[in-house]
A and B are shown apart, each in its own frame.
Chain A
Amino acid sequence: MIDTLPLIIATVMTAATPLLIAALGEHVVERAGILNLGVEGMMIVGAATGFAVAVLTDSSVVGLLAGALAGMALSALFGVMVVFFATNQVATGLALTILGLGLAGLIGQDFVGQPRAAIPPIEIPVLKDIPLLGKAIFTGDVVFFLSLILIVLVAFVLNRTRIGLLLRSVGENHVSAHALGLPVRKLRFWAILFGGLMAGLAGAYLSLIYTRFWSPGMSAGRGWIALALVVFAAGHVWRLVLGSYLFGGITVAQLHAQAGAIALPSQLLSALPYLMTIAALLVLSLSGRKGAGAAGSLGQPFVPER
């Protein structure tokens, strides 16, 4: 058990990282008052583009970057629609997912079934030699370490900087923000682009690190889980981190329970991550804060008065 613990933790880390990154992006978008249901679509386009570019340039790092940019390009389309044409965010987001799934199939067409070598893991010297957990936590892939930086960055920018304050006020009440002279649409557009960048990166992580091949539909609903995690987080980055690792942890733990022939119905174990999310949501909404921490103007189209 002691020997396998680092391996198990490493598995949880790779399972949680794409969820966390996509959710971080959507978190920023929703703080700005926009609901983008297209995470799954941007993610899968990121996966396809990331893989294709990695094969063409023979560089997984360039692939990761390209995947992130592809997600951002798709989000720009969404941004133009909902921010500047004030289209319905739910409908536009769903359309983005459908578009993304189709587009990804097209982009990845010639790359189906091509294998790809792993990116060598990064090892942090000294720290990795800490007994027991050192090797698990301080030996990881490049995106895992990036995700740690992103957590701090997102939390800091949103809560401790002027730009974060502006973004949140735009999300809380866009009419007042506009009356105060804040560039509501510009700020929202930037937030949407960041969300797309993160979703695309999460997608590229799937096809380049998590499982190293491209196949249509490989995101398998992770974009939707990321969206649920943002609701779960109710406005707190730390809860986002907790949620992602809880979800990843339970997913992996239930597989271990099965392999160890623990006598629990495995369908129940399989449903456990989802049940936990629902339970957490219930506790959250029962414990009181109105709207469970969502931004005040979330999902409402904004058309500035002249």
Chain B
Amino acid sequence: MKYFYQFKQAWNKSLSLRIIATTFIVSTILVTVIGLILINRVSSGILTSKESSSITEASSAINEAQKVVTATDTGAGAPNISTVVDTAVTALAVRAGQSGLYDVLFLASSDISKQGLPERGTNLVAENSVSEDLRSRVEKTEKLLWAYTEINYLDGRKIPGLVVAAPIKINNVENYSLFLLFPLDKEEETIGIIRSAVLATGIFLIFGLLILVWYLTRSVLSPVRKTADAAERLRMGLLNERVPVSGEDDLAKLAGSFNSMAASIQHQIGQLEQMSRMQKRFVSDVSHELRTPLTTVRMAADVLYESRDQYTGETARAAELLSTQIERFEILLSQLLEISRFDAGAADLSLNMVNIKDVIEKTADSLSNLLAKQETPVVITGSAPEIELDQRRIERVLRNLISNASEYGEGKPIEVEIGSDEDTIAVVVKDKGPGLEPGESSLVFNRFWRADPARARTTGGTGLGLAIALEDARLHSGWIDVWGSPGKGTMFRLTLPRIAHKAISSSSLPLGIGSEEKYELDMSALQEMLDPDTKIAKQ
């Protein structure tokens, strides 16, 4: 069963195996059928001609024997019969000649053989070479009879043969049967030679065909395989991959088309990369260039703010607004800069062995002002072993998740659960707020996306926080996914590999409530990230 399964797999996988096996089966059947027909025709032809010549010879020999018998028939009496029989057999033996064209059996009829009448044979032919059936049939007929038989000799030899039989009357009284046994060993031998020749030809033909087919499949498949390999390498990002082109046949055309397709893809990707590099460069430059004037404005605003007591109410308020909004602007700018760093692939990790629970507690501590303002308690449960992570980034992720939960949590407790298994550690941050509408879970990580645009912005979030958090997690080869249901709250799950940069596919904590609990990672946000067009369409 196991071998059958393996064979089936190989069968499905290998085109050349299928072609060769099919060729083998079909050619074997064809060669067998053709061989059988050929052998049959040839052997029946040989036997038929031998048969007719034997019967012609036999009938004249029997006539002669009858004449001899009639001529020597000198009247009644047992001794005479013996003489007659001897004379006839001798005459026949002389006729058959030295070459032994045939052997003779001259037998008395079964009804009189018991009386001790003489019977003769030539060359040690045994009586049982002739079947009882033939003997009894000869006694009842006047004509020639013939049948194929096996000629047995008294010395034990056995050869295939044709027996021609006729009744002979002696003294017009006694019934004798004359059997002429023509050996067919020469013919059998010829047929055997032909048969083995046909067999050898067939086997040779089948093997020749197999080799031919194997060579042809190989010569067709190897460029196809090479092209497939090249396509695979192209898929993996080796854009310089090309296939060697030789000749001008269909396969060369395939290789040529593949190469021009690869060149065109390479060109397009190069162009896109160039464009995206320029765009990222631009964003990064803009952010940098903005910083110097922003620093000046910031300091000016601070100077005004510090001396706001000297102004009247409205002007003092203006100085206050200027100061707070510049702060907001600054946060936005630094987040934009962070995002542009991610986009440019310039973000790097500085890993340290850290206990995630400490990081969570520290983060909650640093958010204590905000949490106190929202009157939101944070409950931390569970623990996990230390892992290597970039503390600054993970702190930022957790600050984002917890402040997000407090913003939408409507003052109900925020639950932070820590879990771990062999491959991952996970942190789930759960609020009991209004939750997410269906379809929103893949959108929350989009830049500048907000659950409800009309909502009052209590914490002044920028809409970039979760996008940055996801990038931070991805930088660790981790992932953040989200589950939410109207009225049941929202859960964010941060999953990090225990061994830095090891790919993960499931988390150590479930996401969702009740029957919706799932340990696999929900990668739908990745689709959104990679395909911004669907994002726009959905919005």
* A associates with B: no
By a beta-carbon cutoff of 8 Å, the part of chain A in contact with chain B is none
By a beta-carbon cutoff of 8 Å, the part of chain B in contact with chain A is none
